Structure 1
């Protein structure tokens, strides 16, 4: 059965003097609970009629009506069924009306007793969105809330008539219940109402509403801060795609937003022992200071003694210890944030000597370390330092914000690095393309030319039996020379291939550098019979031994000298120098010439395979363009570096390379005990 007319309309038609008010859902909830509390606190055995619109609203209050039913047998609960709500008389009378009934848009609670009577009759103001399972506290209702016993009695009559139409079998029970409260007695009885429950409920719901509103504002503020930070970082990625720029922007924005005294961001892996810090935010309120070793207690005393913020030391450029840092190790192993709200009381970190040293030196009162993770692998770390303890930091949702931003920074970092790797790959592809072009030109020239010469010589010898002996010898010499040229080209191809493929078996041993230089000079003099530039060797007397493969070291020096001789006129000069760096245990060898020089923008390109400054087909000197590429492969395989320097054309050039050295010079073997280092400037002097 469906009764479309609202109860409120029937009441106002019967009692025109009623003036309806506007109520919000939260207010109705407070008033309803206060009315129910009055029943539970009294012994009046009243009639209680409640209409809940939907079964889901009733389920939230079902336990209260079981308790109310213990006070009186006249309890009637109405609702539109959604699951298992049906007409029932187990604890109290439940009345199920159709979903299209007028009661689906109403909220009613009527309590009629001998000493106490109140009613709440409201109709929802429709027109907004259809209510969902999430009840909106701002839903509006029109109706009345009153203690007027005559209005309460009339409201009870209307609702009882409806219940009898829904459930006719309850007619006798309803008549008996209404007979307890004759109309004349109801009107003449003084209503004894305690206002305290209503005031308490209304205040409680008002405070709860304010709390929820405040929580919503905090959530919106947090979301706005998070989105702003992510947008700034995303903008930095889109503008440059430079990982270093991304990290610097992230450090500045996170440090400023969270009002940290210091913010550090650095790339790292869980196996790293140290990192060099390059990205830092330092609060401008703190003046920078020079490094000074302090204790955590003395730092705290100075901070309390001065009202101004303590001076903080910048960590940019410093080596940051990770291996002995238990805070980092914990975050790296668990991949979860580690937060020390008070570094002096945080156990077990406050017992670690290395940790306390960092805390005292850099005035860290509170310490947050958040790992940046990509696919379960550590890619970086975000650190926030506060000069004073921050016990309320986590409760302000800042930790959640930092975690979200750290995640975004990690993703942005991977994307930026992927783009950078793509750029490197493109450069490598361009280099390979140049190599391919040069290889075609080199093979076309370096192989075709000597083959042509050899073929002409052989054909001449075969077709001219009357050729003179002198001319025959000239033909043979030309063919042998070009055959040797082809052999060197093929040998260079094979050598570079073995070096790049890691198929060289190195034989490292300690040896004097001057001995390798002398062997290289002997090789050069045997190749250049005449027009050789003056070569000077300027090596210190106390030069330590190098730790290298002697054969390949001689090969590297020979190739550098060969290049210098090719591009230096006979009137020029070539010098060989060396110096030891005992801090790095590396020796730097330098080959300097006064030749034609190299344009500065080509100083890196010349180390590429098959590169020739003049071009493969119009050069005035021979060679394959593989010499410097072979030298770089040899030196870098030993952990050294090789580079060139030149002021430009006709300004000469320098080639530097570094190799490991032995600080403590080993004893000279007996077989070389009689050998002495040649004097500087006279490397060709024979040894006794």
Structure 2
């Protein structure tokens, strides 16, 4: 037999003027022991009814009830059996009920004597019921603190009273329950009702306040007991608050640790950390922890706009799971006063109600509404909006946004705001660590490249210097030791020594020029120039260096008129000369070299030096601009040169903001070198005229 109704509910129905109170388990235990000790200290016989919910709770007190039974024969103990507890008559009457019975959720102790009466009748409130009750009272959806599963946090709702009317009413209700489970105790229960002036259940329901016998009296509780209970309850509330704080702190640490674990997973693999993976873990964990409708985490590189790549979607406050996603959408920053406030203050901004906040809807006087923010609020159903900056040493790296959607605004608690701050701090450190790791990888690669360059530099410069020095030394030794050498041979020796000396001079000069360009120690002197004049000067220099007449045919195809260019004339002639010299080295005297120029459709003039010579393999078009690059190898080439010419050209062109690149169809199919140079603006041309 299962009786689902609650004794506490029946009591409140019979005596509607009663008001329940919240009790902790430890408070009820102390009260129960005090009531039991009062029985043991008295010489009177009492009616004692106790309901323990479960057998395991009863067994903790069984020895006390054996002592109580030695003083009175009206003792009734009720519990849901778990092992050996059964209905029977022993030291006292035991009543076993089903765990699903309404008694299984309640805690009762009733003591009725001739001179005083007291009762304790409470219904246990489960963690879920307590949570819903608290949220309904405060208008909340969810909180950070998880329900506590500690015995000390068990809470009961009920009544503790010394009022005889209340105590006799509870006794009547419980005796009626006992009678339904054990009808054979009808005579014994009737004796208790007559002896202690307890009305039948019919009179409890129908009469209510007239339950007492005419000679019944009420006894006030000891004020000291009331003070003790109040103190105990206050201590329990403090303890519960501490447990909640510990729970919130544990949740915060768990979330922070999950992000840290994501970072360690990346670092343990030996590969560069992935900021996207860090942000994805953080956005999912944080959104779930705070039961947000939407959680966004994005990087901030400009103050104009950004793209949302990391999002958590929950449900709205109204329970609608069809929230609009922001993934892949452009998120405005420049015209967002909330974002700008975060940037200026370097602290979080929280909008509890987007429908009344002046930054969004305006105040009607000093500021108008922000249409862009209103569109965001409307399109994404945002009721409450939290923005927390991701900072590292006051540098803004990104932003964390929490959206709570639905009709009811969401009130963030202090521990929730602290959690978001902690996660934002952790994300900032993780992003900086990821960037540092990536930069370290780049630096390692650069160091490897520098080491290779150093090795090449040692080999090439050693070869380039040793070879002409050896030749010069041999020629000079021959001139010094061979006085009978013919004049023709002497001239050959002198010419050879002079040629190799010039080769060494060019190597040293090119090396110093490249060093100056790379170190930024060159002072540029830009001016308005005619490109044709610079080409003529470069051609004159080339022809002077190749006076033997073995030059290929050079054709100039520069339209006239051509816009003036703005560059340093000396360095522009240097670029043209080196490109022409490079073309001459790899083109036979029967080949052709052409110089073309024309606008590229923008603010630059494009110059092309093309030849019909040896050509370049497609996979080497970028490598030819490296320092000391030689197509045939530095130590076995058939053409003269330092291998620095094209590297110098790239540095010069980059200095005036241009670009240089090479094109070739392949081996023995010729090559083209293009570079761009700024055109003088029309306004500048007018002023110069």
Unaligned runs of 5+ in 2: 1-22, 35-110, 121-149, 155-159, 165-214
Displacement of 1:554 after TM fit?
1.9
Q: 2:584 aligns with which of 534, 542, 565?
A: 565
Shift, 1:617, TM fit: 0.9
- CA contact 1:267–1:380 (8 Å) conserved in 2: yes
Matched, 1:450 2:468: yes
Write the mapping of 1:353-372 to structure 2, written as runs, cut at 5 A: 356-357=371-372, 360=375, 363=379, 365=382, 367-372=385-390
CA distance in 2, matches of 1:369, 1:628: 52
Partner Cα separation in structure 2 for residue 647 and residue 407 of structure 1: 54
- Give 2:25's aligned residue: 27
1:138 maps onto 2:146 in alignment = no
Matches of 2:492 and 2:351, distance apart in 1: 87
Which moves more between the two structures, 519-528 or 226-235?
226-235
Match of 2:339 in 1: 328
Name the SS of the counterpart of 1:639 in structure 2.
coil
Matches within 5 A, 1:35-434: 138=152, 192=219, 224=254, 227-232=257-262, 234-236=264-266, 240-243=271-274, 245-246=276-277, 249=280, 253=284, 257=288, 263-268=296-301, 273-274=303-304, 277=306, 280-281=309-310, 314-315=328-329, 322=334, 325-343=336-354, 345-348=356-359, 356-357=371-372, 360=375, 363=379, 365=382, 367-383=385-401, 391-392=409-410, 394-395=412-413, 399-434=417-452
> How far apart are residue 484 of structure 1 and its match?
0.9
Aligned-pair RMSD on alpha carbons?
5.2
Find the aligned partners of 2:611 and 2:293 in 1 and give their Cα distance. 56
1:237, 1:416 within 8 Å by CA — same for their partners in 2?
Answer: no
Task: Provide closer, same or farther for how the CA distance between residues 582 and 572 of structure 1 changes in structure 2, counting only shifts above 3 A.
Answer: same
* Distance verdict in 2 for CA 1:139–1:607, change over 3 Å: same
In structure 2, the CA distance between the partners of 1:283 and 1:117, relative to structure 1 (3 Å rule), is closer
TM-score normalised by L of structure 2: 0.57
Contact 1:262/1:282 (CA < 8 Å) preserved in 2? Answer: yes
| Aligned residues of 1:234 and 1:412 also touching (Cα < 8 A) | no
Structure 2 counterpart SS, 1:662: coil
Deviations 1:299-337 (A, max 9, x none): xxxxx9x99756868346x9x654x65433332333222
Shift of 1:557: 2.8
Distance verdict in 2 for CA 1:456–1:413, change over 3 Å? same
1:33-62 deviation per Cα after TM superposition (whole angstroms, max 9, x unaligned): 8999xxxxxxxxxxxxxxxxxxxxxxxxxx
Of residues 531, 534, 541, the one that matches 1:513 is 531
| Distance in 2 between residues matched to 1:430 and 1:204, nearest whole Å | 69
Contact kept, 8 Å, 1:586 with 1:660, in 2: the verdict is yes
Taking a change above 3 Å as real, the CA distance of residues 433 and 210 of structure 1, as seen in their structure-2 partners, is closer
Deviations 1:449-488 (Å, cap 9, x if unpaired)?
1112222222222223333333222222211111111111
> Counterparts of 1:574 and 1:260 in 2: how far apart (Å)?
69
| 1:432-511 to 2 correspondences below 5 Å | 432-511=450-529
Provide the rounded CA distance (Å) in 2 between the counterparts of 1:419 and 1:568. 47
Question: Does the 8 Å CA contact 2:609/2:672 hold for their aligned counterparts?
Answer: yes
Q: How far does residue 216 in structure 1 lie from its aligned partner after superposition?
A: 7.5
The Cα shift of 1:204 comes to 11
- Structure 1 residues 375 and 396: alpha-carbon distance in aligned structure 2, compared to 1, 3 A threshold: closer
- SS of the aligned residue for 1:280 comes to coil
Count of residue pairs the alignment pairs up:
488
Change (3 A) 1:428 1:385: same
Separation (CA, whole Å) in 2 of partners of 1:350 and 1:578:
59
Preserved CA contact (<8 Å) 2:287 2:295: no
Do the aligned partners of residues 313 and 590 (structure 1) sit closer, same or farther apart at CA in structure 2, a change above 3 Å counting?
Answer: farther
2-structure distance, mates of 1:652, 1:390:
74
Give 2:567's match in structure 1, choosing from 533, 545, 548.
Answer: 548
- Residues in 1 aligned to 2:534 and 2:672: alpha-carbon distance in whole angstroms: 19
CA distance in 1, matches of 2:30, 2:268: 57
- Judging changes above 3 Å, is the alpha-carbon distance between structure 1 residues 138 and 284 closer, same or farther for their aligned structure 2 residues? closer
1:231–1:543 CA distance, 2 compared to 1 (3 A): farther
CA distance in 1: counterparts of 2:26 and 2:663, whole angstroms? 86
Could you report, residue by residue, the CA deviation over 1:408-454 in whole angstroms, capped at 9, with x for unpaired residues?
22222212221222222222222222222222222222111111222
The answer for unaligned runs of 5 or more in structure 1 is 1-24, 37-110, 121-135, 150-187, 287-303, 674-688
Counterpart Cα distance in 2 of 1:645 and 1:247: 42
The answer as to whether partners of 2:336 and 2:372 remain within 8 angstroms in 1 is no
Give the Cα separation in 2 of the matches to 1:518 and 1:390: 79
Residue of structure 1 aligned with 2:682, choices 649, 655, 664? 664
Quote the offset at 1:659 in angstroms: 3.9
SS at match of 2:539: helix
| 1:627 to partner: Cα distance | 1.8
| Alignment check: 8 A CA contact 2:358 2:369 kept | no
Q: Quote the offset at 1:657 in angstroms.
A: 3.7
1:526 corresponds to 2:548: no
TM-score by length of 1: 0.57
What SS does the aligned partner of 1:487 have? Answer: helix
1:108-134, Cα deviation, whole Å (9 max, x unpaired): xxx9x99657799xxxxxxxxxxxxxx
Moved more, 609-618 or 345-354: 345-354
Change (3 A) 1:308 1:637: same
CA shift for structure 1 position 489: 0.9
Please report how far the alpha carbon of residue 507 of structure 1 lies from its aligned counterpart in structure 2 after TM superposition: 0.5
CA distance in 2, matches of 1:245, 1:312: 16
SS of the residue corresponding to residue 360 of structure 1 reads helix
**Aligned with residue 628 of structure 2, among 610, 615, 619:** 610
Note the C-alpha offset of 1:556. Answer: 2.0
